[in-house]
Structure 1
């Protein structure tokens, strides 16, 4: 796991959590309870799920990328690396 990818996923999570409906959608789609999410933030699978959530919703991906001041492709590439997929 790249430290930069993990940091980016955590920043993205911070952005996701600023909007309650979006945060609830993340929890619903990942199946994680808030306590599970907190306790698993150091796990590659959880970080991958956070970024995959964004890459599955283009509007959120673009808005998050804008907020974090990175290209959307950077978030998508980090998601792929965290998922263990070749880029």
Structure 2
């Protein structure tokens, strides 16, 4: 399932929690595809593998993944390109999941 393109528009008011979670899961998959980046995610978020597995459907955990990416712009941009979205859509998803 791909999020709607308009989800990334800051003023659109669009984007469900489900779409935000989908983006976050796609971003998590991208993040975990690189061992060094995955290790950095765990180190910087304070999560461990078990917490990540157990919290895969937890909006706070998914928001933490997106916050991790947003805090390092090169990763944010690379992830957005890899999952065919925009950095703004990832940040909007993080904000939606943090509510």
1:78 matched to which residue of 2?
Answer: 93
Say whether 1:62 aligns with 2:80. Answer: no
Larger radius of gyration: 2
Q: How many residues align?
A: 84
1:8 to 2:54 alignment: no
- Structure 1 runs of 4+ aligned residues shifted over 4 Å read none
TM-score (ref. length: structure 2)? 0.82
Matched residue, 1:31:
46
Q: Which has the higher helix share?
A: 1
Question: In terms of mean alpha carbon deviation, does 55-64 or 27-36 score higher?
Answer: 27-36
| CA-atom RMSD in angstroms | 0.9
Task: Provide the C-alpha distance between the structure 1 equivalents of 2:86 and 2:18, rounded to a whole number of angstroms.
Answer: 18
1:78 deviates by: 0.5
Normalised by the length of structure 1, the TM-score is 0.93
Consecutive unaligned residues of structure 1, counting only runs of 5 or more, are none
Question: Mind listing any 5+ residue stretches in structure 2 that lack a counterpart?
Answer: 1-15
